Amino acid sequence: MDLGLSGKVALVTGASAGLGYASARALAAEGATVMICSRDYQRITNAALTIGRDTGVKPLPLESDLTDVAGIELLIRKAVDEFNTIDILVSNAGGPPGGPFSAITAEQWDQAYNLTFKSTLHLCREVLPIMEKQKSGSIVVITSIASKQPIPGLVTSNALRAGLNGLIKSIANEYGPMGIRANTIAPGYTRTERLDELADEISAREGRSKDEIFDGWTANTPLRRLGEPEEIGEAVAFLASDRAAYITGQHLAVDGGTITGTMG
């Protein structure tokens, strides 16, 4: 299926590895012009080279700290200076600090808010006027199943990612008449560096082995396996594309069935 992404300009944040990288790769493979960013310029440059080698479309690597509002403003200016527009925003950031409510400090709450919620908020504030001017655009925010089903020991993610669902639904409602779509994707347990880090945190806190933790995640997934980053990336590319032109304001779980509630 041709997703109709050829000629579209996409910005993918947090794309040096994991779900952001997989999303950028999927967009590039469909012919989109892609910009990718990370705080680590060497890592994002290496990611661009690898994506270019694999897809034939080398993304433009950009360095940016998503917790800094001025940095986000500069990132968007660089993107527009380079390609004149942004048709697609894929907002992705690393996971916030883990732990139960009783263990999270005020400083960690601030850190989590800046990384998980505030970054997407200000990315949207910067790109929406661009999309409004051209009367088209697609925003896809990568969240987590924690946005729909709280996960024990991940209180910051549970709270802030649910807030992102509300933010993106509001943007979808307000900007839909202008031809702009906005959706979130909620990945389940997916094989990324972040999942490995989370297993380390749980192991240290609870005294269980990492194998036991991974086995538990697999057992609690109806498909009885973990997700692969490419599966999330392909879902992102679809939601961003013209093939999803009548989909907006939705929260799509790509989780192997892990969320236990009914659909909707």
Residue 236 lies in a domain: yes
Q: Which of 5-9, 165-169, 200-204, 234-238 has the lowest mean pLDDT?
A: 200-204
Q: Look at residue 219 and tell me if it is in a domain.
A: no
Q: Please state, in angstroms and rounded to a whole number, the distance separating the CA atoms of residues 53 and 70.
A: 32
Whether 2 is in a domain gets the answer: no
Would you say residue 127 has pLDDT above 80? yes
Q: Quote the pTM value.
A: 0.94
Residue 128 lies in a domain: yes
DSSP code at position 77: H
- 204 falls within a domain: no
Q: What is the pLDDT of residues 64-100, one digit of tens each?
A: 999 999 999 999 999 999 999 999 999 999 888 888 8
Rounded to the nearest angstrom, the gap between the alpha carbon of residue 117 and the centroid of all alpha carbons in its chain is 11
Residue type, 123: L
**Mean pLDDT throughout 99-112?**
94
3-class DSSP state of 62: strand
The range of the structural domain enclosing residue 107 comes to: 9-190+228-254
The pLDDT tens digits of the residues spanning 130-185 come to 999 999 999 999 999 999 999 888 999 999 999 999 999 999 999 999 999 999 99
For residue 242, the domain's CATH number is 3.40.50.720
Instruction: Classify residue 218: in a domain, yes or no.
Output: no
pLDDT of 37 strictly over 60: yes
Tally of domains within the chain: 1
Q: Is residue 262 part of a domain?
A: no
229 close to 19: Cβ distance less than 8 angstroms: yes
In a domain, 234, yes or no: yes
Rounded Cα distance between 86 and 262, Å, is 35
pLDDT tier, 2 (very low <50, low <70, confident <90, very high otherwise): confident
